Amino acid sequence: MSCATFTRIVEKDLSCERGVNAASANDMLDAAVVDYDLATTDEAMLSRAIGSSPSYRVRQLA
């Protein structure tokens, strides 16, 4: 699987989570920025959404 394909899968998996407004992944940085509703979802749910990814981890930005 190419990096671009994997990036699209990560974006799709995150975007399908309830409460996620937008998700954008970057394969060069192994990072994704996710805009989500804190009242609807949390870091644990987002982690489960990308659970198959060995290089992506969820952490909240300041």
Yes or no: say if 25 and 9 are a contact pair by the CB < 8 Å rule. Answer: no
Please state, in angstroms and as integers, the Cα–Cα distance from residue 16 to each residue in 24, 28, 39, 46, 48, following that order: 13, 23, 16, 10, 12
CATH T-level fold of 3-49: Alpha-Beta Plaits (3.30.70)
Q: What is the mean pLDDT of residues 6-33?
A: 89
Residue 20 has pLDDT above 80, yes or no: yes
How long a stretch of residues is the chain? Answer: 62
More confident residue, 45 or 60: 45
- For the chain, the structural domain boundaries read 3-49
What local confidence, expressed as pLDDT, does residue 24 receive?
92
